[in-house]
Homo-oligomer: A and B are copies of this chain.
Amino acid sequence: MNSSKPDPSLNAESHTRTESAHIVQALSDGKNKRVRKLLGRMHPAKTAALLEMLDAEQRMALWQQIDPALEGRILSHLSLELIGQLAGDSADSTHARAEQQHPQSAVNHLEAVRAALGLKKLKRVGKILHRMHPAKIAGLLEALPPEERRSVWSMVDTERAGKVLTYLHDEIRIALALDLDIEDLIASAEHLELDDRVDLIQTLPGELGNKLLRASSASQRKQLESMLSYPEDSAGGLMNADVIQIRADVKVSTVLRYLRLLEKLPPQTDMLMVVDRKGHYQGSLRLSSLVTADLGRPVAELIDRDIAGIAVTSKNTDVARLFQDLDLLSAPVVDEHNRVIGRITVDDVVDLIREDSERALMQMAGLDDEADIFAPVLISSRRRAVWLGINLITAFTAAWVIGLFQATLEQLVALAVLMPIVASMGGIAGSQTLTLVIRGLALGQVQKGNIRILLNRELGISILNGLLWSVVIAALAVLWFGDWGIGAVLGAAILVNLLCAALAGWGIPLLLERMGIDPALAGSVILTTVTDVVGFFAFLGLATLLLL
């Protein structure tokens, strides 16, 4: 940090000019954090002089960045009219009260902030942000279009910026992290738990991540590096190093004395890990049993051995399931020698579960769940274009099948009217089986041991529904076109397509899974291709054979 006095080595005048120049520059770049930093080093009188220099808009913008504590001293140096202009801007405390009553309501946050932005009242934005939890601020930022997001972001105080970043989806997180000066980014990261910092480093572009890493204290860097060495989707990637280890041979009273010396336990601590002399995991001691046990009892008698150490290499989906099944709040992570090297806490598991389900939902539509829904139109368009392109292959394949039967269609145009029905019924029926199998695989309801049974069921269902709907649809077609032949062919085609749909909806996800492709991602496109092709081919093919 510079001293708050101007540097004597060059004359004050020019110095102030350059200072002012920097401020104006930073202001026009929207780098409000930097503006506030520079203002902090400036004498109130100089700031006042600068305000006088600026045009009305710049002046109001600059005023929004001035520390309320200094406002008075600066106003005292200003001309009356300016005082009138600027002092008028006092933030309303009504929102503050509303805030107290409904801490959960995010809607009014968004509207209040956007209103304040509209009036260029960044001070008010700052006040609102100050009352919000980092998670809520993150939600607010995600709900704002990029430009507004940037200026709101510039009003988040550095101590909380890091926590806010951890709650953001990757794309927005990276953009806003890059928007910070590196020293601010480092400062904000210092307030983070190690596992959050690891997440941050992993999502940031390489060199920036490294800067963050190097900026941490030597001891922390060692921990961070070891945590970074594990794949993101493993227990190692989920774990935090803040484990409290105790020995089984000590008394409860000793443990309590030890904890009082620590003064503070890591967040989300519900149990202590019991280890032997070599750090091998023995079991866990819940705080709830610690506080209820007689002081004289040895830890050994209170150990909970039900909770096995999680291998650092286990997949995070298995970890999530384990937490759900055993209702865990935290669990130890052990290396290959069963030595405790960290712990996983349920809050990270909760995020994991939410993200996984989000991903499944988005992937079904070929969307990226980490993408910014307010990303520049051009970028989003390019992403979506890919999915449309893939679908185009499906569509043209279907069209090609129809093309094979142009001669038939020329003679019986009614077929053209009815053929979409065959394809769409197949698509719907197939997607039901597909979804059932995808979810069954995820929950472990569908396994090698029972896939055959499932197939038989699905085929049975498709036969029953096939018979039902082929009759109904055939009847409707006969009523419509007064032609029994068309009805018969339509019904038959639907029956065939529903059978194939069941088979495809069952087989595709199993096949993709075996190929290591996420069924939720590619499943529906492939299915549609099958049901379209089979549907059109069966309908038009049968018509060609039987009706001409």
Contact = CB atoms under 8 A, between A and B. Distances in A.
Interface of A: 103-104, 106-107, 110-111, 114, 133, 135-136, 139, 142-145, 167, 256, 259-260, 262-265, 267-270, 287-294, 308, 314, 318, 321-327, 329, 346-347, 349-351, 353-354, 356-358, 360-362, 364-367, 369, 373-374, 377-378, 380-381, 384-385, 387-389, 391-392, 394-396, 398-399, 402-403, 406, 409-410, 413-414, 416-421, 423-425, 428-429, 431-432, 434-436, 438-440, 443-450, 453-454, 457, 460-461, 464-465, 468-469, 472-473, 476, 480, 528, 532, 536
B378 A464 contact: yes
A436 B373 contact: yes
Most chain B CB within 10 A, of A256, A396, A398, A419, is at A396
B410 A413 contact: yes
26 contacts: A106-B444, A114-B449, A136-B325, A139-B445, A264-B289, A268-B327, A268-B329, A270-B270, A329-B346, A353-B353, A353-B354, A357-B357, A361-B435, A361-B439, A366-B428, A369-B439, A377-B460, A380-B457, A381-B465, A388-B428, A391-B424, A392-B425, A394-B424, A409-B413, A413-B413, A420-B423
B292 A385 contact: no
A201 to B, nearest CB: 20
B347 A391 contact: no
Contacts of A133: 325-326
Contact of A256 (B114, B291, B326, B381): B291
A302 to B, nearest CB: 11
A233 to B, nearest CB: 15
Contacts of A421: 392, 395-396, 398-399
A329 B326 contact: no
Copies of this chain, count? 2
Given A354-B357, A445-B143, A417 B406 contact: yes
A363 to B, nearest CB: 10
List the 9 shortest-distance A-B pairs measured between CB atoms, nearest first: A357-B357, A135-B325, A416-B416, A110-B449, A327-B347, A365-B435, A265-B288, A377-B460, A381-B464
Contacts of A322: 104
Contacts of A314: 104
Nearest to A327: B347
A417 B436 contact: no
Contacts of A536: 420
Contact of A367 (B308, B432, B448, B532): B432
A395 to B, nearest CB: 4
A52 B135 CA distance: 71
A377 B435 CA distance: 17
Contact of A380 (B262, B264, B461): B461
Given A385-B468, A439-B361, A450 B144 contact: yes
Most chain B CB within 10 A, of A417, A443, A454, is at A417
Contact of A135 (B167, B259, B324): B324
Contacts of A256: 291
A329 B327 CA distance: 11
B448 A107 contact: yes
Contact of A392 (B265, B287, B473): B473
A425 B388 CA distance: 7
Contact of A267 (B327, B431, B440): B327
A354 B417 CA distance: 43
Contact of A329 (B114, B270, B457): B270
Most chain B CB within 10 A, of A139, A373, A425, is at A373
Contacts of A360: 357, 361
Contact of A324 (B354, B358, B377, B480): B354
